[in-house]
């Protein structure tokens, strides 16, 4: 069990780091570690993906709160921008959590892999267009059907699969000329919102399930949550400090590399 806790702590540190660096909420970093460790603990395959997503979402709440506070202190958080996007993200998260609870674990795993692949392709397309982020965009620029659609879709995808809004919203905010630190701060705060709404849905949805591991609250695996959270609280400030020293375009390429690594791990474990 000690080895398992060490894995959770290390995954938590990495999750906090990428949450601070990219504002993604850390679920992509947590998913491979949770799937592997829950398998090693002998948890039934039918429950692994639901436990993974719920525990990732709950951990995401803590890292998102810390990252948002640190970003606010650094002057990166535009509260009006978050306020414009939050209602659409929240509605999407409610829908996503309901869908995720109803789907079989293997379907969620395949969807997760496909979503990571889509995210990589979309990020590469944005890079190929040489879109750079500036610093002069006003919060009122985040308006219109396209922005609202992607905000809702980002909440839904987070509710189903765990990743924060950064995957779908970041390219839209870059297109509107927001700076990367502002985008990361916005995504972090919205990731916390997705985590609260969707994790609650998975907890309630798992109350009547049998065969869940000991110390589970619905689909939330509490030992993993606490260990991951401790690690994430240490990693998040490191990610924020690092992000402020990296050029915007290099940071975007690092994000793509990070997603590619997650995709490789998930495909290898699924096969």
State pLDDT tens for residues 144-164: 888 899 889 888 888 887 776
What does the pLDDT read at residue 115? 83
State pLDDT tens for residues 46-92: 889 889 889 988 988 888 888 888 888 888 888 999 999 999 999 99
The mean of the pLDDT values for the chain is 83
Please count the structural domains in the chain: 1
Does residue 98 have a pLDDT over 80? yes
Residue 214 CB burial class (10 angstroms; 0-12, 13-18, ≥19): exposed
Residues paired with 220 in a beta bridge: 217
Query: In a 3-state reduction of DSSP, which class is residue 245?
Result: coil
Cα maximum dimension of the chain: 53
Residue 266: domain span: 2-270
Q: How far apart, in Å, are the Cα atoms of 62 and each of 24, 38, 105, 124, 188?
A: 13, 21, 25, 30, 10
């Amino acid at each position: 069990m000690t080895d398992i806790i060490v894995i959770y702590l290390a995954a938590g540190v990495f999750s906090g780091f990428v949450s601070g660096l990219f504002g993604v909420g850390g679920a992509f970093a947590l998913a491979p570690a949770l799937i592997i460790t829950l398998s090693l603990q002998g948890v039934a395959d039918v429950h692994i993906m639901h436990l993974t997503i719920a525990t990732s979402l709950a951990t995401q709440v803590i890292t998102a709160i810390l990252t948002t506070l640190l970003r606010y202190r650094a002057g990166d958080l535009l509260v009006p921008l978050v306020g414009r996007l939050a209602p659409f993200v929240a509605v999407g998260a409610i829908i996503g959590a309901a869908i995720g609870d109803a789907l079989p674990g293997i379907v969620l795993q395949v969807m997760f892999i496909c979503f990571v692949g889509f995210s990589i392709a979309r990020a590469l397309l944005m890079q190929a267009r040489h879109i750079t982020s500036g610093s002069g965009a006003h919060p009122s620029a985040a308006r219109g059907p396209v922005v609202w659609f992607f905000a809702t879709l980002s909440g839904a995808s987070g509710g189903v699969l765990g990743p924060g809004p950064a995957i779908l919203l970041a390219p839209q905010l870059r297109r509107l000329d927001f700076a990367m630190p502002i985008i990361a701060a916005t995504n972090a705060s919205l990731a916390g919102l997705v985590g609260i709404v969707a994790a609650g849905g998975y907890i309630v949805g798992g109350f009547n399930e049998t065969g869940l591991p000991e110390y589970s609250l619905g689909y939330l695996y509490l030992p993993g949550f606490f260990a991951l959270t401790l690690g994430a609280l240490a990693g998040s400030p490191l990610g924020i400090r690092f992000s402020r020293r990296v050029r915007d375009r290099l940071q975007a390429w690092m994000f793509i590399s990070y997603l590619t690594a997650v995709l490789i791990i998930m495909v290898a474990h699924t096969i």
